[in-house]
Amino acid sequence: MKRILLALAVTTLAVGCAKTSPTPTPTPTPTPNPVFTSTLTAANEVPPVTNAETTASGTVRIELFITRDAAGAISTATATFTVTLTGFPAGSAVNIAHIHQAPAGSNAGVLVNTGLAAGEVTLTNGAGGFTKTGVNITPANAQAIIDGPAGFYFNVHTSLNPSGAIRGQLTRTQ
């Protein structure tokens, strides 16, 4: 009986002294910045471009840098736009470039302006590009683009086509 009590006491002591590991707190995985791209063509403009810039094309990559509040809502947003252009007549002047909210085949007013100034980009040999960083976007507009990128388009305007030379709907790639 003494042995049983001794064994029970030792077992109780061992269990009571056993080191337990705390449950690890999971480290939140950072959400990557949303990235959107589009292939831009003159045929996508409404109406399609039919002059010397008909062969113009390009690409845009838009990366959103967002901050969220404790509830997960976007509180601030900025964007970086990286644009490549080709197939323009030599010496074409790019005047403005921006995001609009409208489906393919429709036009709409400017939603997000890149801040590109008229005459800032000249395509000396018909090709080139530009990058704009730190472009402010309202939290509501950033969320709308994230929620439905296909309902937004990016276009580039030139001196020859002030209403728009090339355009494409946005697609989320990240």
Query: What is the pLDDT, as a whole number, of residue 119?
Result: 85
β-pair type (57-68, 74-86): antiparallel
d(CA 152, CA 166): 14
Q: How far is CA 136 from CA 94, 112, 142, 153, in A?
A: 21, 8, 10, 17
Query: What is the pLDDT, as a whole number, of residue 26?
Result: 59
Band (30; pLDDT cuts 50, 70, 90): low
What digits encode the pLDDT tens for the residues 44-71?
999 999 999 999 999 999 999 999 999 9
Neighbours of 32 (CB within 10 A): 8
What digits encode the pLDDT tens for the residues 121-134?
999 999 999 999 99
Alpha helices in the chain (DSSP H): 2-17, 139-147
Average pLDDT taken over every residue of the chain: 89
Taking phi over 0 as left and psi of -120 to 50 as alpha, with beta for the rest, 80 belongs to beta
Band (5; pLDDT cuts 50, 70, 90): very low
Task: Examine the pLDDT at 14 and tell me if it is beyond 60.
Answer: no
Q: What is the mean pLDDT of residues 84-92?
A: 98
Query: What is the pLDDT, as a whole number, of residue 158?
Result: 97
